[in-house]
Amino acid sequence: MDEKKTTITDIKNAKGTEKPLVCLTAYTDPIATLIDPHCDLILVGDSLGMVFYGLPSTEDVTLEMMIAHGMAVTCKPRNSVVIVDMPCGSYEDDKDKALSNAQKLMTQTKCDGVKLEGGKDMAPIIAHLVENSIPVMGHIGLMPQSANKTGGYKVKGKTEEGAERLLSDAKAIENAGAFALVIEATMEETSQKITQSISIPTIGIGASATCDGQVLVTEDMLGMLTGHTPKFVKKYADLADEISGAVEDYAKDVRSRKFPSSQYLYGATK
């Protein structure tokens, strides 16, 4: 880490500037260490349920899992602002429970803020956390925690009515005091209108370059995952191929006793 730690104020001040915000996910120390020099924000996303644990959705991710991975990411000082997702069931129905869980995440992981999913309905919860000094990032559009109950993993804001709903959700979250807003899987016109209508930075994922910043799941953009790739993911590497090639070579070497060769051996005892 060099001298300058990015702050929540820096993120807010990036709104409308010529420098879009760079955000990626990390669940572990090695990945956080590799991405930190290039990012403004690191998100310990609850996508870890599917990406890291192989669960079918993010619904079964627990607060304990988020704390453990948040701690792994913050185990070293980071330049980037580190945000940890509040998992499904930890905040939606009770503002005191939401506050107590957000405080646990903040104190145990020493992260800079939390993210939670939801529109207008979640504004009172966000306001309560912000009033109690918890920096909150909102998340609207496709919301994976409730996708199975709301018609699946589909693009949002496609109709005029849907786009209007997203815009009023965004305004409610801004008014509740969130410092930034993730918009997932929407039409370009919709994200552009939202971005132009609110004073906090929008971070897009499948929401076009009109947003104030972008986020991707790191394992997706590194091409590490073998399942379905969403349309909005650009693969900047093909690590799945690299990894299986390397493991194939290792297995061949072990089976032919080529590995370990002399350079990997300790000296003989006297």
What are the residue numbers of the active site?
A: 184
Our CB check for ligand KIV shows the closer of 25 and 74 to be: 25
Which stretches of the chain bind ligand KIV, using CB under 6 A? 25, 43, 45-47, 85, 139, 182, 184, 205, 215, 217
Residue among 46 and 92 whose Cβ is closer to ligand KIV: 46
Q: E strands within 48-197?
A: 81-85, 113-115, 136-141, 180-184
Shortest distance, CB of residue 218 to ligand KIV, whole angstroms?
9
CB 54 within 8 A of CB 66: no
Residue 78 or 139 with smaller CB distance to ligand KIV: 139
* Contact between 68 and 29 (Cβ < 8 Å): no
CB 199 to ligand KIV: min, Å = 21
Least CB distance to ligand KIV at residue 261 (A): 42
Q: Residue 194 corresponds to which amino acid? A: I
**256 Cβ neighbours under 8 A, 6+ residues apart:** none
CB of residue 232 to ligand KIV, shortest distance in Å: 10
The CB-nearest residue to ligand KIV is 45
CB closer to ligand KIV, 85 vs 174 = 85
Q: For residue 30, is the peptide bond before it cis, meaning its omega torsion is within 30 degrees of 0? A: no
Structure tokens at 92: 């939606």
Which tokens go with 70?
């948040």
The two most distant CA atoms of the chain are separated, in Å, by 81
